[in-house]
Amino acid sequence: MFAIHFVCLVNPGDGDGFMSSEFQSTLNNKGMKDVAADVIMGSRVSIRHVNTQGGYLHSHPLMYPTGSKQQQIT
């Protein structure tokens, strides 16, 4: 079923942001650059929402005090 959708979906639209970068790069007129790179422990990455003006995600040296207790990212 999904294979049929992927064959029919060749143009970018409102929902393509929910799909992987790899999928989005197959869409017509998407204009995505090849950005494949290995990310390993200790790597530094920048992640930005495609539809915002400078809306970068960044990590903090703080951990969540409850719940997952993992590193805070905003």
Is the predicted pLDDT of residue 42 greater than 70, yes or no? yes
**Tokens found for residue 32:** 């995505």
User: What are the domain boundaries of the chain?
Assistant: 2-73
Cα–Cα distance, 11 to 54 (Å, whole number): 25
Per the confidence metrics, is the pTM higher than 0.75? no
* pLDDT tens digits, 4-16: 777 777 887 777 7
What's the pLDDT score for residue 65? 93
